[in-house]
Amino acid sequence: MGRQARSVERARQEDETHGDALAPESVAIMGDVINAIKATPTHDLRSLFEQVVARRAGVLRVRLRPAMTGAADANGGDSDVVTVTWRGARFVLDAGPHTRDRAHVAHVLQSAVAVAAAVLRAQGIGKETDPAPVHAPLLDDPVERLVGSSPAMGRLRDEISASASNNFSVLIEGESGVGKELVARQIHVCSARRRGPFVPVNCAAVVESLFESELFGIEDGIATGVRGRRGKFEQANGGTLFLDEIAELPLPAQAKLLRVVQDFAIERVGSLMPRRVDVRLIVATNRSLCALVDQGLFRRDLYFRLRSILIRVAPLRDRPEDIVEIADAYLHRCDPMHPRRLSGVAASVLGLHHWPGNVRELERALEYAITRCNGDHEILVEHLATDLGQPQRDMLLPPGNHDETLQSMKSRYARLKFDQYRGNKRKTCAALDISYHTLVSLLKRGVKAGRPLALPRLSGPGLEPESR
């Protein structure tokens, strides 16, 4: 073994002597670096290390360089960065720009931090005085945190905390656009696996004939020109594998997945040797798996394997009090330095829309409004799409004549809230902070001017106070 290889190996042994045992991925990177030194002993050690990490991450470039101050360390949205503190100075290990799975790249960089410390020590730069902090910007980004103060969001946070305390598989059900992947990421970052990778897979986009190779990997040399590669289960080793749209898997693919979920041992395509993986499995669907089981479209045994923990994410229309909070958070995310704000009427229109597309539709509506603002820092109702909450817009905006009384405006708004809560008078009274009899009076009054409203029947049993 050459001098550089011995120096790197000695640095690794010193770390282990001090109790800093390397993770399996770090050990693999260390082995590749030592082998590369043996193959090209005259090559620059730091350059060899960068080549090894880039190859394992699957990106074009990795650099280990002194950190710059201020914003100069930012490499844009397509890069990942981790930091090594060395002899009072900061070094940056970055990869990018790239378009690969950022969770995988971030995991490789995190694993390479300890090896980077050994490389710097072997080069004689000095001795580490600070533990190397690990930064995973993608997985613990503050903008990724759940927003909302409704009771439904409070229950969801409690379920996330409870799920994060164990390694059981989780089934997340919810309509499209409610943020099921965000819930899965929060479970990951709150769990003991947060330093491991989070690997998302869209099952609806996986071709059935390629299902095994995508999830389980391919053995090297099984055919001419075919290179071996890891599947998603191996990429998620030590972390979390998130299978989105699990209901879209065909029955043959479900059978293959069941075999792996039972003992978490995979076989690459072309291999006869099983490989054990340490993976936390989270799946999500916008359809009811239980109903699909009854219809024979989803395997019952796989369903019970996956739903150790069931989390249902409420649609946005069932938690209207969160709409404006989510909108404000997204506006701040779009422009943190000069975030736009919603006018009172615009916020009311957003809060009263039913949002069939949930949070995803809300974000697109805000992007449209920002485009229409022309630099203004306040989003007005006219900046919103014309088809967004048109009935609510008609009720909230003045009708154009001047003979409408204050009482008719109150009645118009009470009717709007009454419709929003689907005719539930108790919830409407709570939202408006008025008595039951005041609400009935406002609903009877109707609107004197403007577009006529279809008032409900207010006679008979419907007028009886609801149980409180």
Distance CA 320, CA 355 (A): 10
Cα separation values, 335 from 143, 323, 330, 342, 375, Å: 12, 19, 9, 14, 12
Please compute the mean of the pLDDT values over residues 258-264 and round it to a whole number.
88
Backbone angles phi, psi at 202, to 5 degrees: -90, 105
Highest mean pLDDT among 51-65, 72-86, 143-157, 381-395: 143-157
Give the rounded percent of residues in the chain with a pLDDT score beyond 70: 69
Q: Which residue has the higher pLDDT, 123 or 110?
A: 110
pLDDT for position 313: 95
On the question of pLDDT at 462 being above 50, the answer is no
Distance CA 221, CA 226 (A): 6
On the question of pLDDT at 461 being above 60, the answer is no
Please compute the mean of the pLDDT values over residues 205-216 and round it to a whole number.
88
On the question of pLDDT at 120 being above 60, the answer is yes
Distance CA 283, CA 421 (A): 32
On the question of pLDDT at 395 being above 80, the answer is no
Please compute the mean of the pLDDT values over residues 360-367 and round it to a whole number.
92
Distance CA 248, CA 292 (A): 11
On the question of pLDDT at 118 being above 90, the answer is no
Bond into 97 cis (ω within 30): yes
pLDDT for position 351: 82
pLDDT for position 69: 38
User: Which residue in 161, 176, 346 sits closest to 245, CA to CA?
Assistant: 176
44 confidence band (pLDDT: 50, 70, 90): low
End-to-end CA, the chain? 81
Give the rounded percent of residues in the chain with a pLDDT score beyond 90: 29
pLDDT for position 4: 54
pLDDT for position 363: 92
Distance CA 70, CA 416 (A): 50
Distance CA 349, CA 338 (A): 23
Q: Are strands 275-276 and 265-266 parallel, antiparallel or unpaired?
A: antiparallel
Cα dihedral 375, 376, 379, 383 in deg (nearest 10) = -60
Q: Which residue has the higher pLDDT, 457 or 235?
A: 235
Q: What is the pLDDT of residues 280-334, one digit of tens each?
A: 999 999 999 999 999 999 999 999 999 999 999 999 989 988 999 999 989 988 8
* Spatial contact of 134 and 108, defined as CB atoms under 8 Å apart: no
On the question of pLDDT at 416 being above 80, the answer is no
On the question of pLDDT at 70 being above 50, the answer is no
* Helical segments of 123-263, H only: 151-164, 180-189, 211-216, 232-235, 251-263
pLDDT for position 401: 52
Q: Which residue has the higher pLDDT, 367 or 374?
A: 367
Domains and CATH numbers, the chain: 3-122 (no CATH), 142-314 (3.40.50.300), 317-394 (1.10.8.60), 398-463 (no CATH)
Distance CA 287, CA 184 (A): 17
Dihedral sign for Cα atoms in the order 146, 151, 155, 161? positive
Q: What is the pLDDT of residues 126-181, one digit of tens each?
A: 443 333 333 333 334 433 468 888 999 999 999 999 999 999 999 999 999 999 99
Distance CA 130, CA 85 (A): 6
Q: Which residue has the tokens 């003045």?
A: 398
CA atoms within 13 A on the CB side of 328: 14
On the question of pLDDT at 199 being above 70, the answer is yes
Question: Rounded to two decimals, what is the model's pTM?
Answer: 0.59
Highest mean pLDDT among 204-218, 372-386, 409-423, 454-468: 204-218
pLDDT for position 198: 93
Q: Are strands 80-86 and 89-95 parallel, antiparallel or unpaired?
A: antiparallel
Pick from 43-52, 288-297, 320-329, 432-441: least confident: 43-52
Angle, to 10 degrees, between the axis of helix 3-17 and the axis of helix 102-122?
A: 110
**Cβ neighbours of residue 187 closer than 8 Å, sequence gap 6 or more:** 160, 163, 164, 170, 240, 282
